[in-house]
Amino acid sequence: MENYARTVRCAVLACALAAGPAAWALEVRVASQEVLEPKWLRAGGRVTGICPDIMTAIQKIEPRLRFTGYQRTSRSLSGIETGLETGTLDAACGLVSSARRLGIGQPVGKPIYQVRHYLVVRRNDPVTIESEADLARLGDLVTTQRASVFTERLVAAGVRIDDATDDNRANLRKILAGHGRFAYINDLTLHYLIRKEGLENRVRVLPVVLADEPTYFWVSRRAAPALAPLLGAALDKLAASGELGRIYARWAGTP
């Protein structure tokens, strides 16, 4: 029954595509990601950030796509992965690659931005770290984001972690309170939170990049077949025009 319904939906979409953008738009179900600023920001009943800006830009150049759901639906990272797997979400914005994600979805188009991960310590901590192996040998507790690919890598390296929350703001506050020596956070979120929380004189970012890789827009393997090529082509156009870079720069430098 599920396969039949999907076949019917695909046939309807094929006819709609032929009719042209003025007659049809493909609804793309997306959930915002909880507590991951400034990729997603919720304030005053509005959802803003890098991903909403990218989706707005996509819709301008590809009117056959209409993103829905993220204004009212927010999920944890693991919840977003489950949505891609079950087909309750059609796409997800700004994820790095992993074996699990490749099994339930596909990255489309050019990368939307590069993500780099750093360690943060209290300002007066003189420690020096060069690698995940150094962290494992040292044995001190590292606060990190729950269910992230980078957290999985820390665990695999034998690092002692606290991943009780998705909230990087909470992880920074933990090390300031003496719970854990290091916080492991992506550069975009880290610098945003340092500015937002006024932590310039309270924390120190160690000068080593422990991970550096691209993030992509992902499409569920259960989504309509028309989605991946339309979305990928739109992202390629935004990358070529420089718009993806401008959106990133705007949020990377704005508290």
C-alpha distances (whole Å) from 151 to each of 20, 173, 176 are: 44, 18, 20
The beta strand positions in 34-82, using DSSP E, are 41-43, 46-48, 65-68, 74-75
Angle, alpha carbons 226-229-235 (nearest 5°): 130
Buried b (16+ CB within 10 A) or exposed e, 24-53: bebebbbbbbbbbbbbbbeeeeebebbbbb
- Condensed to tens digits (0 to 9), the pLDDT of residues 61-80 reads 999 999 999 999 899 999 99
Residue that is written with structure tokens 């500015």 in the block: 195
d(CA 31, CA 33): 6
Contact 186, 35 (CB under 8 A): no
pLDDT of residue 44: 84
Do strands 203-205 and 105-122 pair parallel, antiparallel, or not at all (unpaired)?
antiparallel
Task: Output the pLDDT for position 145.
Answer: 94
* CA nearest to 234, candidates 93, 45, 131, 89: 93
The predicted structure's pLDDT at residue 169: 95
DSSP class of residue 225 equals T
All residue ranges of the chain with pLDDT < 50 are 1-2, 4-12, 14-17, 19, 21-22, 255
Residue 4 is predicted with a pLDDT of 45
Q: What is the pLDDT of residues 103-156, one digit of tens each?
A: 999 999 999 999 999 999 999 999 999 999 999 999 999 999 998 999 999 999
Pairing of strands 105-122, 46-48: unpaired
